[in-house]
Structure 1
Amino acid sequence: MSIEQESFNIEEEKLNKTIEWIEEKIISLKEREEDISNKINEINKEVKGSYNYEVEALQNSLQINRKNLNSYKSSISVPYFARIDFKEKLKDNESFYIGKVGLLDEEDKEEMVVDWRSPIADLYYSGVQGKASYEAPIGNIEGELLLKRKFIIKNKKLIDAFDEGINEIILNFNEQDEQNGEKALIDEFLKINLEENRGNKLKDIVSTIQKEQNDIIRADMYKPLIIQGSAGSGKTTIALHRIAYLLYKYKNKITGEDIIILAPNKLFLDYISEVLPNLGVDKVKQNTFNKFSREILSSNYEIIDKDRKLSKIIENKNSKENKFITNSNKLKGSLVYKKMLDRYIKYLELNDMFIDDIKIEGYVIFTSREIIRLYKNDLKHLPLNKRKIEIGRYLENKIESKIQNVWNDIDKDYILKIREVRSKYEGEEERANIIKLYEERDNKKEKITLEAEEVLNKTIKEWLIDDVVDVYRDMYIDEENLNYATSGIIPEVLVNYIKNKIEKEIENEKIDEEDLAAILYLKIKIDGVDNYKFAHMVIDEAQDYSPLELYVLKLLSKARGYTIVGDLGQSIYYYKGIENWEKLIKEVYEEGEYIPLKQSYRSTVEIVDFANKVLGKQKNNLEPAKAVLRHGKYPKKIQYKDEKDFYEKLNSVIETIEEKKDKTIAIICKDYEQCESLKESLHLKEEKQWEIVTKDTEMLPKRIIIPSYITKGLEFDCSIIYDCSDENYRETELDKKILYVVLTRALHEEYIFYKDNITKLLI
């Protein structure tokens, strides 16, 4: 139900005036840009390429002007999405129009459009009509919220408008809640937005952010947030909007370069790539853990990624081999492994203290005692190699006085030698021997003076630990290292498996992704990595990280700012060790706040209820997701007899879907091998092309075949689940998680194909 026509007409007129004003600003800014550019060109001609302060000032003005121009250009189609009326205590009622970008009329000093991240905009997301307040830089502002109005604007045209509290509809959450008589009061504006087709990129949600999401977005930057979000809860989108908010609120303290997002793969990074630019944010580093680790290590080694290993576990029928894979990775991802690495680092530290005096020509320039004191006591707070470098600098500063001391020792030695000559020889023979001794003494002094710095630098260089990858390998290869590090607490058969695997991989210039955290930890403790430290870190799909990986990433933060988002229901890399968030908070993020997000905004009620059947069979006892707003078709189970029957039924489904146009369709297979086999068969039977998606795919086409483990975080208008038989999806914990992931990707429609008997997980 929309607002009344009279109010609609007033809002339409307001929109038209705002757009006219923006158009005028664009013309004005373009003219200003041209004027500034002309001035720069004129001055450059005069100074003929020499540095000029005025040119630098004009270039800064040009940059600001272009940024403002881009803001107006990006706003003109949809200047704002909401209006609030707020009456501050002892003041008149004011109307505020809220948009993605704040727009200020510089002449009147009036905010034509308020930035969604501004303090007063918090009332739109979290306020309720009646008494309300918000936190401003000057303190808490109290008053009365009189109106919350939401607009649908497309291409400069007002399509519809809704008032909160009036244009709301009552929906059931899901079947269970319907039985319990629970209802949800939901606004129609959100429902309309969620019913749209999504395309192949994640979109911003500034106009539909819900209160629970807004609280996370606006939470303090210096507090670790651990967000358990069910599939479709918007956890990734919330994390991205949180970045935009933090850069707005703390703009005098941080820039985009101080923040990093770690995502599971290139495909996911491409999928989220438009959100931050659309929110006016740039320069935020976006990477995968794999690639980020390689950058820090400056390594050209090939990384054996976790998807390859998971695929092997899925396909491998050798339960003994799978047991070795899972046990070794559980160990290498645990904080027990960190203790093992700490023991090894202690062992390296002890060995470092076996250093000799630094001598030239038999004279001690620096004593080992002095060096060890600096290493063991004064510089103990530094990583091992940094200590050595600092010791080198310290000794270099003292080298002149040390050389003078050695000269004094040489003089003393040669005084004795000259006395001895005088006691033995007389006349010319005495004189010749003394001259020879003086020359010998002076040559020795000169050599020490010339070589002291070189010998010092060479000693420090040889003392440095060179390659942390080799150091990691040596922990297993050297029996003494291994015994000291493990202290006999790890079963010998498992140690031998890891040892043989690591030795073989590093010889072939390969590193298992599960070893990266340990190698990074050694890098931090040996070399330090200050250049890579960030003020805030967003880690997406965090359930796929091991405790050690998250601990290492914590060491790469300058502050305590982390936004950790994940879903234990989707932890398909279960063998890496995260069992629950509470344990992780206790062991890694001591001051962390745990926030569950249970509402799912992605799929229809029917799809969420269907997927929750599988979630309920997992061991983690997670509360099932609650779908809101949208009802649709119940997921359709389709049995097929043979290959011919499968393709006939598949084509029938695809034809039905494609009649609706602009739909993204994903056929989801359990593993990559199934994807290849299916694509080959489809190529022979269909004219239209299907593309297999891998972890290296950078853009999603509209018709894809994709393995289960790459779908996490992605969403499609329609999902087709391939071979959901009891042979393909068994009652293992891994299969429960994989199936839950694939069943929670669809927005609108879902089809489950199976041969013979459907998996017991869906019964």
Structure 2
Amino acid sequence: MGRTTSSAQDEIDKEQQYVDRVYERLGGMVERAAAVGQEGRQRGLLDYTGEIKEDDYRSLFERDVLVDHAVRRLAVLDAQREGLVFGRLDQREGVVRYVGRIGVRDEEQEPLVLDWRAPAASVFYQATPVRPQGVIRRRVLRCLGQRVTGVEDDLLDPDAAPEDLVVVGDGALMAALTAARGQQMRDIVATIQQEQDLIIRAPSFGATLIGGGPGTGKTVVALHRAAYLLYTERRRISGGGVLVVGPSSVFMSYIERVLPSLGEHEATLRSLGELVDGVAATRRDSSAAAAVKGSLRMRRVLGRAVRDGAPGTPQEFRIYAGGLIRRLDARALDRVRIDVLRRGAQRNRGRAEATRTLLAALWSQGPSGRSRSEFDDEVENSAAFGAFLDAWWPMLSPSVVFGWLADPDRLGSYAKGTLSPAEVSTLLASWDGAKEPSIEDVPLLDEIDSLLGEVPRTGPEREPWDDFGDVPELKSAFDRQVRPEHSVRNDGYAHVLVDEAQDLSPMQWRMVGRRGRHGSWTIVGDPAQSSWPDAPEATSALDAALGRRERRQFTLHTNYRNSAEIFAVAGRVIRQEFPTLELPNAVRTTGISPTHVAAEESSLPSSVGAAVRGLLAEVAGTVGVIVATHRVEQAGDWLDGLDDERVSVVTALASKGLEYDGVVVVEPAEIVAESTTGIRTLYVVLTRATQRLITVGAEGVWSG
């Protein structure tokens, strides 16, 4: 088959003409969406006279619908200024189709660009040289903003190619793998591979579990799956919401741009420390404290706390009723509280039952000369009874009950027979002087909240508008975009995506499970990277969260992140604990092996500084300095004079899910020693590097 002498630049220029046409059309779509939004807001402008009439409600509703549509559409369109068109399919019979982040049609409603999630675009990812599916050439367009900077072609069906077909480049995948990393995760929508596409387009019902070693793209595949489900099942999933759960706020910042870049803005992203409203925990407990707090044994401890009497509550109640002085002492009051809660009433929902039980106890103390209902009315309507009930059975918040745990006497009582004295001491030490809850405390707060129950509503129902100035208005989607309400839905999401799932403690699984009790799930994890020491207990909690949902398991086998040289070192490390572990295949080589710099404590600052400066000169992207927890501030001081935004200092646990072009690991033996899972944590750390890896510190058995 012949080839033309057309240069790569000629092909870029041709593609630029088409991309310019698409962006011109996009500009028109933005103008129309803005006009729809303006029309909606105009419909909501009322000639306000002090009351809202039926026609006013209709105008407000129409405004709400129009503005909601316009705001959502503008958010999607505005996010597509970068690389909207990324793919082209040259198919048999001269058919040419372009693939992009969203669908774009021309003035006659003919497709200019196929949305990557549309069925017609699936062959862009699923066609292979073995099964080309009618695709002759697959082209990836590399863009900077709206400018085409390069093209990479895969020739899938040479026998069907016309004589003048041009093939440019060495393939889009390898070009993407060698590109420099930035501070945030990039989407892979232009280079999704066939095994990844099968996961992305898997059925939504039940639970989809994605496994695979480091660098196999589990996280980004799961995020693309969330975008795909929002596209194909928007009515179900958008209505119920998508929750994305990750291990840390650093990780969530790293991935937060992926879904918007794919045209989706409706997912809620939360780290494990942010799943309870009003709490944004970033502090981590020691491994020992985390192991206790994450254990299912804490359920019993917290249950006892919720059933305990609140500090400072009355120890006696006296009242004159039915011709007698009636009295309930501390023991009788405790018995009433225990009986009410033992019958299954939640603390904040049990006040009515507590009232009935108190009245029965008072009635039983002697005849009153009147009927039972008359006696109950007399007591219940008295000021003394109302004041006592408010003080004795207060509505409790999770934070209040959580605070009781820091009292040594109370915690000792709650933990008796469940936790050892050493574990109680570990818990008390973790709360001593703590001003804010830790990440490991958040599931405890959520468990307490579940046990307490919601405080019953009192007073009139809230009106269906907010006071905005002097004019009552319905709250529209536009209002929510301008003044977002940062809350987590506790009534459950339509779809829950959990990343780094192998690290979740049993109590964290219970917390996440409440958010997905009625929805479908995507769960991403690798047992070899687990930082939770009791795998069977965590598996049991996961099973409880998923219930009887159908499960489908996928495993990714190709490591796209690490060079083969880097992954060979990481593989030797993990095989110390898992000798027969099946590791993914690293497909890219650099010819540069990782290096170890031997350094004593006194020379660590200079050695680490030199290593970081060397990497900054060698790689175009980011450099991560990964240390044991106690060295974070130290390492920051060592690099204080290095003014480069590409450098980040993170702990071993905080590095989970992240990637850097170059990585400096400081004292690997310390990272092994501080973690309850030792070698597994170091394995994670060593696989954060894409291009260069340097370890600094003492020699040790950690290296295998």
TM-score class normalised by the smaller sequence: 0.7 to 0.9
**Which ranges in structure 2 are unaligned for 5 or more consecutive residues?**
159-168, 310-314, 325-334, 358-367, 456-487
d(CA) in 1 for partners of 2:83, 2:26: 15
The residue number in structure 2 matching 1:98 is: 99
Aligned to 1:351: none
Structure-2 residue corresponding to 1:589: 546
Count of aligned pairs:
636
Q: CA deviation at 1:713?
A: 1.6
Is 1:20 the counterpart of 2:21? The answer is yes
Structure 1 residue aligned with 2:299, among 338, 342, 345? 338
Would the aligned equivalents of 1:257 and 1:285 in 2 still touch at CA under 8 Å?
A: no
Q: 2:255 aligns with which of 264, 272, 279?
A: 272
Greater C-alpha radius of gyration: 1
Deviation at 1:273, TM superposition (A): 2.0
Which is richer in helix? 1
Cα separation, partners in 2 of 1:476 and 1:638, compared to 1, 3 Å: closer
Whichever residue aligns with residue 305 of structure 1, its letter is R
Q: Secondary structure at the match of 1:689?
A: coil
* Cα deviation 1:11-38 (Å, max 9, x = unaligned): 9646524532541452475378469748
Aligned residue in 2 for 1:163: 154
Distance 2:22 2:436 in 1: 60
Distance apart, 1:561 and its partner CA = 2.4
Aligned to 1:259: 242
Alignment of 1:414-493 (within 5 A): 448=378, 451=381, 459=389, 462-463=392-393, 466-469=396-399, 471=401, 488=417, 490-491=419-420, 493=421
SS of 1:109's equivalent in the other structure is coil
What's 1:246 paired with?
229
1:165: Cα distance to partner? 3.0
Aligned twin of 2:87: 82
Kindly provide the CA deviation profile for residues 320-344 of structure 1, in whole angstroms up to 9, marking residues without a partner as x: xxxxxx3x64344223443565677
Task: Supply the AA of the counterpart residue of 1:225.
Answer: T
Alignment of 1:432-581 (within 5 A): 448=378, 451=381, 459=389, 462-463=392-393, 466-469=396-399, 471=401, 488=417, 490-491=419-420, 493-494=421-422, 496-497=424-425, 501=429, 505=432, 511=437, 513-528=439-454, 532-535=490-493, 536-571=495-530, 573-575=531-533, 577-578=534-535
How far did 1:206 drift?
Answer: 0.8
Residues 1:759 and 2:700 are matched in the alignment: yes
Q: Identity, % of aligned pairs? A: 21
Q: CA deviation at 1:490?
A: 4.7
Name the amino acid aligned to 1:273: E
Residues 574, 244 of structure 1: alpha-carbon distance in 2 compared, 3 angstrom cutoff: same
1:130–1:145: 8 Å Cα contact kept in structure 2? no
Match of 1:707 among 651, 660, 670: 651
User: Is this contact kept in 1: 2:244–2:496, CA < 8 A?
Assistant: yes
Counterpart-to-counterpart distance in 2, 1:412 and 1:288: 53
Q: CA deviation at 1:678?
A: 4.2
Label 1:3 to 1:253 Cα distance change in 2 as closer, same or farther (>3 A).
farther
What's the CA shift for 1:732? Answer: 8.5
**Which residue, out of 635, 639, 643, partners 1:689?**
643
| Structure 2: distance between partners of 1:633 and 1:608 | 12
**How many angstroms does 1:715 deviate by?**
1.4
Contact 1:217 1:241 (C-alpha < 8 Å) held by counterparts: yes
* 1:743 shift after superposition: 1.3
Structure 1 residues 385 and 127 mapped into 2: Cα distance closer, same or farther (>3 Å)?
farther
Q: Is the 8 A contact 1:191 1:630 kept in 2?
A: no
**2:627 matches 1:669:** yes
Distance 1:97 1:620, change over 3 A: same
2:139 equivalent to 1:150: yes
Q: Secondary structure of 2:682's partner? A: helix
CA distance 1:158–1:48, shift in 2 (3 Å): farther
Q: 1:221 to 1:358 in 2, by over 3 A?
A: farther
TM-score (norm: length of structure 2):
0.73
Aligned pair in 2 of structure 1 residues 235, 356: CA closer, same or farther (>3 Å)? Answer: farther
The 1:462/1:608 distance shift into structure 2, 3 A limit, reads same
The change in CA–CA distance for 1:129 and 1:745 in structure 2 (over 3 A counts) is: closer
CA displacement at 1:531 relative to structure 2 = 5.1
Partner residue in 2 for 1:111: 111
Amino acid at match of 1:565: V
**C-alpha RMSD of the superposition:** 5.3
2:183 — aligned with what? 200
C-alpha contact (below 8 Å) 2:36/2:66 kept by paired residues: no
Which aligned pairs between 1:211-360 and structure 2 lie closer than 5 A? 211-255=194-238, 258-293=241-276, 295=277, 305-306=283-284, 308-310=285-287, 326=288, 329-338=290-299
State the distance in 2 between where 1:587 and 1:358 align: 48
The Cα of 1:659 is off from its aligned counterpart by 3.9
Distance 1:391 1:631 in 2: 71
Matched-pair contact (CA < 8 Å) for 1:224–1:560: no
Find the counterpart in structure 2 of residue 718 from structure 1: 662
Instruction: Work out whether residues 86 and 100 of structure 2, in 8 Å CA contact, stay in contact via their aligned partners in 1.
Output: yes
2:478 counterpart residue number: none
How far apart, in 2, do the equivalents of 1:455 and 1:357 lie? 9
Deviation at 1:126, TM superposition (A): 3.1
Contact 1:33 / 1:62 at 8 angstroms: preserved in 2?
A: no
Secondary structure, counterpart of 2:221 in structure 1 = helix
Distance 2:198 2:595 in 1: 37
Displacement of 1:383: 3.9
Structure 1 residue 452: Cα displacement = 6.9
Aligned to 2:564: 605
